[in-house]
Structure 1
Amino acid sequence: MSAAVTVRIVGVSHVAVPAKAALPTEPMKLTATEALWLRIPLLQHVLFYESAGSSWPPFDGIVDSLRSSLGATLATFAPLAGRLVHLEDTGDVAIVCSASDAVRFVEAECDADVRSVAGGGGDAPDDDLRLLEQLAPELDMGELPTSVMAVQSTRLVGGVAVGVTVHHGVAEGKSF
């Protein structure tokens, strides 16, 4: 990929914590060490899936399946839909999660080929790196309160990219 390719956002929705989920009754305070990680750039993962030919479901079906799976995950891990806040009374940073919280889910499309985006070697051109950055959703890290996590599904030529962004104080690379 030598020409600059951009990702176009085609929709934004939210995946809520299921009503049956057990929500934390108190804010979940981050430890001092975890709070330090909030200043480090966000943790972003992008997973690529190549089309399986005619058996590949339509993009809308993939998005519906991803939303459903995320909802099922939030039933167990509800704080991922929460917000990072500053607790005025203690000065701590904590995750708060309520029944009205949800994970932002971005739908996007891009004219790049999944093989060329996913298969780049270690010496990827700057344009490729800029494209990879667009495949993970944005998440505000400048000021609290802010969302804990966001998800993005991008339709590519010949496949799909699923990007997840989460604050480093909440999860780290090996556990996420």
Structure 2
Amino acid sequence: MAAHLQPYNIIETCHISPPKGTVASTTLPLTFFDAPWLTLPLADSLFFFSFQNSTESFLKDFVPNLKQSLSITLQHFFPYAGKLIIPPRPDPPYLHYNDGEDFLVFTVAESTKTDFDQLQTDAPKDISVLHGVLPKLPPPHVSPEGIQMRPIMAMQVTIFPGAGIYIGNSATHAVADGVTFSHFMKYWMSLTKSSGKDPATVLLPSLPIHSCRNMIKDPGEVAAGHLERFWSQNSAK
């Protein structure tokens, strides 16, 4: 039997940032590796975890740890809490994180009417049944000068009481390629599993290196063609 889309109860929506003062306000360039993805839709991901406890236990024992570990993780993956800045043409887009102001939107939801086991099977299903467990990325803000500021990532955790949880993600693909996002998730889940222990005492994946963006050169101006296509599509919208 096909699953049917059921309403999800939003319990909480909050803002998660790196601990204040741990990351300086930073600007990073996009490289020609990133430019081809500017014209693509958002990248969505879903992760399934068994969780046999109640919603009350989830909110009390699991969510606070998940938030704290996400904040610490964003200290090292801070572009995900920042924005994609799109100045008027011909200036190229870039990434910016503003300490004390930027954040990642984090939503906690509950589903009591949808079958968790049915959703995670490999059997064919209407893809719309998964839309409720994916977060909504906030809309871009446009300044009076015509500068677009697009949020980069949003997360949603949905509890299916007595069955499991979904962790859903929506992100701008130019910033969150598959390898980097997998790195981010492994770091976050490793911290979550450590249950609040000092990160210095926990075996964690290696830290990302953001300075390498400034070392990547584009002598053939490969990014230029991708930016032309992006500007054309962006102005049309």
Shorter-chain TM band: 0.7 to 0.9
Q: Which has the higher contact order (CA 8 A, sep 6+)?
A: 1
Once the 2 structures are TM-superposed, how far is the Cα of residue 45 of structure 1 from its aligned partner? 1.2
Kindly, what percent of the aligned residue pairs are identical?
26
Q: Does 1:131 align with 2:132?
A: no
Where does 1:1-176 land on structure 2 (aligned, <5 Å)? 1-25=2-26, 27-52=27-52, 58-60=57-59, 61-88=61-88, 91-99=91-99, 100-110=101-111, 111-119=113-121, 121=122, 123-126=123-126, 129-140=127-138, 144-157=148-161, 158-176=163-181
The answer to whether the 8 A contact 2:46-2:167 is kept is yes
Which aligned runs of 4 or more in structure 1 are off by greater than 6 angstroms?
none
- Could you say what secondary structure the match of 2:67 adopts? helix
Gaps of 5+ in 1: none
TM-score, structure 1 normalization? 0.83
Once the 2 structures are TM-superposed, how far is the Cα of residue 52 of structure 1 from its aligned partner? 4.2
Give the partner amino acid of 1:58. Answer: S
How many residues of Structure 1 are paired with residues of Structure 2 in the alignment?
170
Provide the rounded CA distance (Å) in 2 between the counterparts of 1:13 and 1:47: 20
Higher helix proportion, which one? Answer: 2
Gaps of 5+ in 2: 142-147, 182-237
Higher strand proportion, which one? Answer: 1
Once the 2 structures are TM-superposed, how far is the Cα of residue 58 of structure 1 from its aligned partner? 1.3
Once the 2 structures are TM-superposed, how far is the Cα of residue 24 of structure 1 from its aligned partner? 4.7
Question: Relative to structure 1, is the Cα distance of residues 16 and 114 closer, same or farther in structure 2, using a 3 angstrom cutoff?
Answer: same
Greater CA drift, 3-12 or 105-114:
3-12
- Could you say what secondary structure the match of 1:62 adopts? helix
Larger radius of gyration: 2
Provide the rounded CA distance (Å) in 1 between the counterparts of 2:172 and 2:68: 22
Once the 2 structures are TM-superposed, how far is the Cα of residue 98 of structure 1 from its aligned partner? 1.0
Provide the rounded CA distance (Å) in 2 between the counterparts of 1:83 and 1:169: 12
